[in-house]
Amino acid sequence: NHLPAIVCVTIALDRAIAAWWHDTTSRRDFFVAGLFGTFAVACELPALAFLGLLGLAMLARSVRRTLTAFVPAAAIVAAGFFWTTYQAHGRLTIPYAERGDGTTGENWYDYTYERNGKVYESYWRNRVGIDRGEPSRLMYAVHVLIGHHGIFSLTPVWILAFIGMGVWIAGADDRRLRVLAASIALLTVVCLAFYLMRGQDDRNYGGMSCAFRWMLWFTPFWLTTMIPTLDRMAHSRLWRGTALVLLALSALSAAYPTWNPWTHPWLLEYMTWLGWVRY
């Protein structure tokens, strides 16, 4: 679901930028932005925050085109989402909502079933390894940002993106760039805070995965805010070399799980080998 979400966010962001930077607004831009922005939510539920900001941006650009193109496109995806959910489960609530503790509602992740006379229990009753969750919220934040699943340690090229956010917010001459960067920064902080504040059961770094996968759909946003940083670095051979080193290190992390994304990051494997962490 993460790769389709990245594609959807890329298309929706591109059409939103086109709608704001072109002198004339196209109904097609609004329709495509609404369609793919909503499909991003179907792939990544936290992308609902992006859809909300996207809707406000398009509404500010043109109320009429938002109501006649953006909203109908979003409704198409929403209708398909809830129809398929109902067909699969007989109700409109999504499976993630069915995680009660037995006293507050059903828990679809807690079950048993029998096959050939043997009773099997849900894996989530007796989690092992990293799926047990990180007890310390502080340590979880450290590893999510600069540790074994770190956004900046595994893909240090994103450092340039966060610098770029600050550059545009503080010094862009075009107000639209300041708003764009501030919106991306807000989305980043809100979603990161959401994940970091989860309970221990959910503080598992995305489970057996090659990265902190829940933030992968931010790739188009961070690539966009990297632009002002790279523009400034382009004038110096030293800084161009620095950018290439950061990119190379990031590419190595991305290439490590080429044949199977459901493996631990190389940093976690290395830290485990050193005896620094145990899951």
pLDDT of residue 87: 92
pLDDT of residue 105: 62
Name the residue ranges covered by the structural domains of the chain. Answer: 1-92, 95-126, 131-279
Query: Is residue 19 within 8 Å of 25, Cβ to Cβ?
Result: yes
Show Cβ contacts of residue 231 under 8 Å, excluding neighbours closer than 6 positions.
Answer: none
Task: Please count the CA atoms within 13 angstroms of the CA of 275 that sit on its side-chain side.
Answer: 0
Here the tokens at position 272 are: 């485990």
pLDDT of residue 152: 96
pLDDT of residue 109: 80
Task: Please enumerate, as own/partner, the contacts of 135-144 that have beta carbons within 8 Å and a separation of 24 or more.
Answer: 135/200, 137/196, 137/197, 137/203, 140/196, 140/203, 140/205, 141/196, 143/205, 144/192, 144/195, 144/196, 144/205, 144/212
Q: Which of 154, 141, 142, 160 is nearest to 257 (CA)?
A: 154
Query: Is residue 215 within 8 Å of 192, Cβ to Cβ?
Result: yes
pLDDT of residue 102: 55
For residues 6 and 95, give the distance between their C-alpha atoms in angstroms, rounded to a whole number.
22
CB-count exposure of residue 63 (10 Å: 0-12, 13-18, 19+): exposed
Here the tokens at position 243 are: 């950018």
pLDDT of residue 257: 87
pLDDT of residue 243: 96
pLDDT of residue 236: 95
pLDDT of residue 126: 84
Task: Please count the CA atoms within 13 angstroms of the CA of 260 that sit on its side-chain side.
Answer: 5
pLDDT of residue 107: 79
Write out residues in the chain with pLDDT < 50, as ranges. none
For residues 61 and 39, give the distance between their C-alpha atoms in angstroms, rounded to a whole number.
21
